[in-house]
């Protein structure tokens, strides 16, 4: 059976792939090769999303954590890139904000990630791709803090 961490990461990918450019979404991230694990930026697919697991921590909170369980926190970095639609100053940063808002909206629409976790929190930033030596692109990065509980020894 796949680890709980793998199931969570796959669910994050699945949620992001629901961004389809319709309704309240600005971008379309629904193609299979647009939301990938562990890769670095590839300019042949824009917009593109890259999911990387940062770390997992374990803790036990007095009065909260049951002896047979562990509270865990999984940190996931989501890196996002999109082409900029015009050369207006500041537009790349704004389009990066639209991109991370789409991803955040998709994640927050299922904060339990299909009942795998207790909650997901996010911190995000956007900037002109020129700051990362990628002029003409919008860049956004989001750090997901995913809180879940796991049975000891499972």
Give pLDDT tens digits for 42-92.
Answer: 767 899 999 999 999 998 878 777 778 889 999 999 999 999 988 888 899
**What pLDDT, on the 0 to 100 scale, is given for residue 43?**
67
Q: For strand 69-83 and strand 137-151, is the pairing parallel, antiparallel, or unpaired? A: antiparallel
* CA triple 44-29-23, angle to 5 deg: 140
Identify the pLDDT of residue 85.
Answer: 84
Average pLDDT over residues 106-126: 96
CATH of residue 23's domain is 3.30.70.1700
The total number of structural domains that make up the chain: 1
How much is the pLDDT for 65? Answer: 76
Q: Which domain range does residue 26 map to? A: 4-151
pLDDT for position 26? 96
Looking at the whole model, is its pTM more than 0.75?
yes
The 3-state secondary structure of the chain reads CCCHHHHHHHHHHHHHCCCECCCCCCCECCCCCCEEECCCCCCCCCCEEEEEEEEEEEECCCCCCCCCEEEEEEEEEEEEEEECCCCCCCHHHHHHHHHHHHHHHHHHCCCCCCCCCCEEEEEEEEEEHHHHCCCCEEEEEEEEEEEEEEECCC
1-53 residue pLDDT tens: 789 999 999 999 999 999 999 999 999 999 988 999 987 777 678 999 999 99
């Amino acid at each position: 059976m796949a680890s709980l961490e793998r199931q969570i990461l796959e669910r994050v990918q699945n949620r992001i792939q629901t961004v389809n450019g319709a309704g309240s979404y600005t971008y379309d991230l629904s193609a299979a090769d647009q939301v990938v694990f562990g890769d670095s930026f590839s300019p042949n697919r824009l917009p593109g999303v890259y999911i990387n697991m940062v770390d997992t921590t374990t803790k036990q909170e007095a009065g909260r954590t049951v002896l047979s369980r562990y509270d865990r926190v999984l940190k996931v970095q989501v890196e996002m890139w999109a082409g900029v639609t015009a050369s207006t100053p500041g537009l790349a940063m704004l389009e990066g904000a639209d991109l991370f808002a789409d991803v955040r909206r998709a994640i927050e629409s299922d904060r339990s990630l299909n009942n795998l976790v207790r909650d997901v929190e996010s911190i995000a930033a956007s900037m002109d791709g020129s700051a990362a030596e990628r002029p003409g692109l919008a860049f956004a990065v989001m750090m997901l803090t995913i809180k879940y509980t796991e049975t000891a020894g499972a």
